A and B are shown apart, each in its own frame.
Chain A
Amino acid sequence: MKTITRREFIQISGGTLAGFALSGCLGVNMRPIQESVNGLRILHARQTTTICPYCAVGCGIIVHTVKGKVINTEGDPDHPINEGSLCSKGMAVYQISHNNPNRLTQPLYRPPYGTEWEEVSWDFALDKIARRIKETRDKTFETTNDKNRIVNRTLGMASLGSAALDNEECYIYQKLLRGLGLVYVEHQARI
């Protein structure tokens, strides 16, 4: 192996430094050069596949993340449904990630007669929801209808499921609701 003398080392590093300095001076023409040096911005991103949360078509999406942050989303070319393409809503899925400043990070609660939403803890919100469900169900549960047929239902509650739920989540969610005796179970997945 060739050993580098101190003199050679200084010569090489000096030359490299001068090269850097030169490219700095001339480099007004930045973006194309930047791109060819840095490469594609998703080049070293981690790829995870997911399913579009919107309609029933269920297109495949690739999510590019760097250190847990979403930097890009695009259609999954290996997915048999969409083969890489997406509609305008699916294409905008990037916006429902943490990059969106309008996204809620905490449950909001508006107390009775309140006019403002206030941020509350998850424990508070879940306890509140559970207590309200129990109260309403106890109050309105009917085992038989007016023709004396067994119905075991409650008409005091309705559910409007989230459009961002996927098939499996919807299944579990509606299992829970049927278990409680709800009749009005809706899901908004038609947009």
Chain B
Amino acid sequence: MNNMAIFIDISKCTACRACQVACKNWNQLKAEQTENRGSHENPPDLSAHTWNRIRWVEELKNRKISWSFFNDRCRHCDPPDCKDAADEFVKGAIIKDKTGAVIFTEKIKAIDPDEILSACPYDIPRYDPETRMIYKCNFCFDRINAGLTPACVKACSTGALQFGDKTKMLHLAHDRISQLGKNATLYPGEDYNIFWALPDKALLKHIG
């Protein structure tokens, strides 16, 4: 299996949240009760049962509301900081798969969860006291190894999420960024297995 990647084009996302539901459906994660917080953004945060979430970036531009939808989830860094942190305690608790997936194994239960949670620069993993496991997006590595696309990518109807060989996806991303104009940028960078094309650099202050 080659080094794979998901390329997320924010400018094509309509926040239908099919990716969110597809993730819950495939990984059999339970639903969560949430409250209306005055925003369409729901649920309010990632959790042990929500590994993929659309973040609403609401801005006032020329007295008009402008929406950007950022698909927040594990970036599958290459190399992953969480793996380095975990290896200090238990070798192999976090695996970097050949597909590029960063996978948390059951060995992680032996490590103090704060060590893993604080190692992530993007605040993605979530601890579940019930199972004593730390959860996050697993890149649907079971689907990828069986030749399928990740559940979220398959569900995306606008083509905002695309999956393929990392070199091909990076090529696609750079093409798209040049189309989107001078302000567009690649986030977080090339040393990741999931990357975003942001139509405006100003979005970085909301995402980072």
Does residue A19 face the partner (Cβ distance < 8 Å to B)?
Answer: no
- Least CB distance from B142 to A in Å reads 4
Residue on B nearest A29 in the bound complex, by CB: B105
CA of A36 to CA of B143, assembled, Å = 11
Whether A85 contacts B95 by the Cβ 8 Å rule is: no
List the A side residues contacting B48 at CB < 8 Å. none
Interface residues of A in 21-35 (CB under 8 A from B): 28-32, 35
- Least CB distance from B195 to A in Å reads 21
Whether A91 contacts B105 by the Cβ 8 Å rule is: no
List the B side residues contacting A90 at CB < 8 Å. 18
Whether B155 contacts A92 by the Cβ 8 Å rule is: no
Whether B103 contacts A32 by the Cβ 8 Å rule is: yes
Whether A28 contacts B148 by the Cβ 8 Å rule is: no
Whether A31 contacts B154 by the Cβ 8 Å rule is: no
CA of A87 to CA of B158, assembled, Å = 10
- Least CB distance from A97 to B in Å reads 11
CB-defined interface of B132-153 with A at 8 Å, one 1/0 digit per residue? 0000000001110110100100
- Least CB distance from A73 to B in Å reads 7
Does residue A43 face the partner (Cβ distance < 8 Å to B)?
Answer: yes
Q: What class of interface size applies to chain A in its complex with B?
A: 20 to 34
- Least CB distance from B98 to A in Å reads 11
Interface residues of A in 78-96 (CB under 8 A from B): 82, 84-88, 90-92, 94
Quick check: which of B4-12, B19-27, B69-77, B180-188 contacts chain A, the rest being far away? B19-27
- Least CB distance from B57 to A in Å reads 19
List the B side residues contacting A91 at CB < 8 Å. 18, 21-22, 25, 155
- Least CB distance from B26 to A in Å reads 7
Interface residues of A in 20-59 (CB under 8 A from B): 28-32, 35-36, 39-41, 43
Closest 9 pairs between A and B when the two form their complex, measured CB to CB: A85-B157, A91-B21, A40-B146, A35-B142, A88-B21, A88-B17, A29-B105, A88-B18, A30-B106
Q: 14 extra interchain contacts, Cβ-Cβ under 8 A, other than A77-B154, A92-B25?
A: A29-B106, A35-B142, A39-B146, A72-B26, A74-B22, A74-B26, A74-B155, A75-B154, A88-B17, A88-B20, A90-B18, A91-B21, A91-B25, A91-B155
Q: What is B's interface to A at a CB cutoff of 8 Å?
A: 16-18, 20-22, 25-26, 92, 95, 97, 103, 105-107, 141-143, 145-146, 148, 151, 154-157
12 pairs from A and B in contact (CB 8 Å cutoff): A28-B105, A29-B105, A31-B106, A32-B141, A35-B145, A39-B146, A40-B142, A41-B142, A86-B155, A88-B21, A91-B21, A91-B155
